[in-house]
Structure 1
C-alpha cells in the first residue's frame, strides 16, 4: 500500500486570510458615518461581492514563491474593483444619503489594513521558513543539467521559499531507475517532484505522472530552455479541443492596453510640460554653442510589429555619416562634451516623450534598436523578434537590470532579450512604475555603460 501524503501544508492559511479580511471590511464600516439606512443588506452585499471579486482576481493565490510585486498588484486590483462595486451600491439600492466622502475614507482604511495584514502574514511565513525551518516542503529533482542545478541553488539560497531538496537523481547514470525514485519519494515523505523534460522519454514522463497522481504528489516540469527563453503557456479550449499557446501577452488585453496608453499620455504630457518646456531652450543654446548642427537627432528604429518610426533625441555627437550605422562606444570621439553629460544622465532620451505622445513608443518597454542592428540580431539571436509584440520604451527592464548601452558581447544581447521577453509576458502597471523609479535612481548615480 502507498503511503499517502496527509493533507496539504498551510491549509489553514487561506481560510484564515478570508476570515480576517472579511472581519476587516465589515468592522471598518463602523469607523465612519456612512449613513446606511439598513446595515445588514450592506454587510451581505460587501461580503458576497468580496468573495466574487477574490475569485475573479485570484486574490488569495499567493504562494511561497510569489514575488512582492505580484502581491502589490493583487492588492491594488482588488481594492479598485471593490471600490467600484461599493459605489455601485448607492445607485443599485437607491441610497442617496450615503456619504461618498466617508465611503472613500472607508475604502482607503480597508486598503491600508488589508495591505498591513497581507504583508505581515507574508513576512511572518518567510521568517518562519528561513529562520526556524518550519513549513518546509521536501522535494526531489530528477535530471542533472544547468537548469536543475540553478533550481537547486535557488532553493538553497532562498530559505524563505521553504523547499528542502532531499535528492538529485542523474538520469544519465547507468544505475538510474524511476522505481528507485518512487521508493525514495515514499520512504522520505517527499511532497513535490521536479523533473527535467529534456532528460526523460515520453514513456518515463507518463510513468512519473501516473505515480504522482496515484500517490498524491505534486509534479512540476522543468522545461528545456536551450531552444526557447520562456514558455508561459496559455491553455484554451476550442470547443472541446485543448490548445496551448506559446505565450500570453497581457498588453493584448484591451483593458491593459488602455491602462498603459492612458498612463503613457499622462506621464509624457507631464514631462513635456514641466521639464522639456524650459529645458529644451537651455540645451539648444548649449548644444549650438559647442558644435554646429541641429539640436535634435532623428534616427529610424523598429517598433511595434517591426514597423519603422523616427526616434528623437537631443544631439550628443558631432554630425557624422555613420550615426545611423554604428552605436556609441566607450571613448567615442564623436561625442561632444555636453553630449557626454546628457548621455550619462539619460537627458538625451527626453525628446522621446514626444514619440510616446505620438503613439510610436511607450514610457517603458524593450528599447528600440537601429534598423541595421535589428536586422543583424533578428538573424543571429533566437527569439529576438518577440520584443516587437509591444511598443518600444524610453527605458526598459533590461536597461535597469544592467544591460543598457553598447553591446560588447553576444551575452549582452542574449540577456537583454531574456529580460525583454519577461517584460512582454509579465507586464503590469506596477512593473512599469518599478522600472521608472529604478531608471531615475540610475540616472542620479550614473551608470557605467552610459556613454
Structure 2
C-alpha cells in the first residue's frame, strides 16, 4: 500500500491526461451554450473543429510542457500559472490552424474566451481535488518517498525539519550521512546514521530509497566528487540543495547569468521591479509629507534660530546605497562646534544640546528634513538608519555583515527603530541588535512591511528612551 500510487504513477498520469481532454470538451460545449444559446453543432463548423483539435492537441502537448510532473515540494500557484500558459499556447496553435484553413474570421472571440476561462477553471479545480486527496494520503503515511539526507549542517537540518512539519508533502527521511559533530544534532533515534559515503548506495538498495538530498557545504567539494562517482549508476532522484544557510548573506535567489545558473548571495529583495515601486512610493510620500509639514518646518526653523546662533539645518556625510556618500539633512539640535576627527554621539544631559535640541531629538522631529534626501534619491522613507562615517569604520570590523546594511538606501525610520533600537549605540551589543533588525528588514522587505513601519512610527515611534 505504501508504494501503490508511486508504482502506478504512469497510469495516473495517463488518467489525468484523458481527464483534461474530457474537461476541455465539456468546457467548449458549455461555452457554446453560454455564448450562442445553442449546441456547438448548430454554430459555424470551425468551432467544432477547434474544439476537437485543441482538446486532442492538449493530450499531446500538456505532457511535453511538464504539467503532469510531481507536485511534491512545489508551490501550487506556479503549477497553475504553467497550466494557464500551456492552455493559452494550445488555443493559439488552434487559432493558427484555423487561419491556415481560411476560417479564422468565423471564430467567435467571445466563445474562445469563455472556453479558455471555463477550461482553465475546471482543470484547476480537478488539480486542487487531486492535490488534497494525495495530501491526505501522505499525511496518513501513504504514498511517501523514502529519503537519505547527505550532510546535516544548517541546510540538512532545515530540510529534515520541513519534511517532518510538511508531512503532506510525503517525504520520509530514513537515513542521514553526517560527520561526528553534526551527527549529535540528529534527534530522531529511528533514523539511521550513515558514517561513510560507501554506506549510502548499500542503504539505498536495501531500503528502496526514492530520493537522495545532498546538503553538503560548498567547501566539501572532494566529498561531492566522491559521492558523484558512487551515485553515477543510481536510478533515483538526486537533489543538491547547497548549504547556503551557513553563508550569512542577504539572499540566495537562483537566476540565469550569461546562460548559466547563478546564485545571488547579497542581492536585496528591493532590487529590480520591487525597487522601482519602492522609489515611486518614496517620492510620492515625501512630496506629500513636505507639503503637509511646511507650517511645522517654519515654526521649528524660527525656534532654532531664536534659541541659538547658527544655521537651521545640520548636514553630515553618510553612506547611501552601495556605499555612495551623501549629505544627510537634519534640524540642528546642537550648538555650533567642531568635532576633532571623531563623532561623539549625543548623551543624556549633553551640554552641546540647544535649548530645544533635546526635545527635537526625543520626538525625532530633527529627522524631518530627511524627506528632502528622499526626494533627492539618497534615502528611502523606510530603511536602515544611516550612521556616521566614523561609526561605519569602527563597526564594520567588529560586526559580521555590518556593511550589508548599505546594499539598500538608508531610511528615515526602520524596522530596528520601531522595535526600540534607536538613539545612542554606546556598546557593540546595542549596535549588533540594531544591525540584526536591519538585515531582517532587508531580507524580508515588502511594501506592506514598509506601510506597517510608517504607521507604527507615526503613532508610537517618534519618541524613545534611548534618544537624547
- The whole-number CA distance in structure 2 between the counterparts of 1:330 and 1:42 is 79
Match of 1:171 among 179, 182, 206: 179
Q: Is the 8 A contact 1:171 1:200 kept in 2?
A: no
The secondary structure found in structure 1 opposite 2:378 is coil
- The whole-number CA distance in structure 2 between the counterparts of 1:113 and 1:349 is 51
By how many angstroms is 1:308 displaced? 1.1
Residue deviations 1:340-359, cap 9 Å, x none? 4558xxx956953x444433
Q: Is the 8 A contact 2:253 2:263 kept in 1?
A: yes
Relative contact order (C-alpha < 8 Å, sep 6+): which is higher?
1
1:280 matched to 2:273? The reply is: no
Specify the structure having the higher radius of gyration (Cα): 2
The secondary structure found in structure 2 opposite 1:214 is coil
**Residues paired across the two proteins, number:** 411
Match of 2:240 among 220, 227, 242: 220
The secondary structure found in structure 2 opposite 1:309 is strand
Q: Is the 8 A contact 2:381 2:413 kept in 1?
A: yes
Q: 1:212 to 1:284 in 2, by over 3 A?
A: same
1:197 matched to 2:189? The reply is: no
- The whole-number CA distance in structure 1 between the counterparts of 2:116 and 2:385 is 37
Q: 1:358 to 1:442 in 2, by over 3 A?
A: same
Per the alignment, residue 358 of structure 1 pairs with 376
By how many angstroms is 1:280 displaced? 0.5
- The whole-number CA distance in structure 1 between the counterparts of 2:383 and 2:213 is 33
By how many angstroms is 1:362 displaced? 4.9
The secondary structure found in structure 1 opposite 2:213 is strand
Q: Is the 8 A contact 1:139 1:165 kept in 2?
A: yes
Q: Is the 8 A contact 2:373 2:379 kept in 1?
A: yes
Per the alignment, residue 308 of structure 1 pairs with 325
Q: What stretches of structure 1 of length at least 5 have no aligned partner?
A: 424-430
Q: Is the 8 A contact 2:215 2:243 kept in 1?
A: yes
By how many angstroms is 1:30 displaced? 6.7
Alignment of 1:290-309 (within 5 A): 298-309=315-326
Q: What stretches of structure 2 of length at least 5 have no aligned partner?
A: 37-42, 184-192
Task: Indicate the RMSD between aligned Cα atoms, in angstroms.
Answer: 6.5
Q: Is the 8 A contact 1:139 1:167 kept in 2?
A: yes
- The whole-number CA distance in structure 2 between the counterparts of 1:249 and 1:129 is 40
Normalised by the size of structure 1, how large is the TM-score?
0.59
Per the alignment, residue 206 of structure 1 pairs with 225
Alignment of 1:44-443 (within 5 A): 65=73, 71=77, 124=132, 128=136, 132-133=140-141, 136-159=144-167, 161-172=169-180, 176-198=195-217, 202-215=221-234, 216-223=236-243, 226=246, 228-229=248-249, 232=253, 236=257, 245=262, 247=264, 257=272, 259-260=273-274, 262-264=276-278, 266-272=280-286, 275-276=288-289, 278-284=291-297, 287=300, 298-312=315-329, 315=331, 318-319=333-334, 325=343, 336-337=358-359, 340-341=362-363, 348=367, 351-352=370-371, 354-362=372-380, 368-386=386-404, 388-389=406-407, 391-392=409-410, 405=422, 408=430, 410=432, 412-413=434-435, 416-417=438-439, 420=442, 422=443, 432-440=446-454, 442-443=456-457
Please say which of residues 10-19 and 432-441 is displaced more in the overlay: 10-19
Residue deviations 1:163-208, cap 9 Å, x none? 4332333323798222333333333333333344249954532342
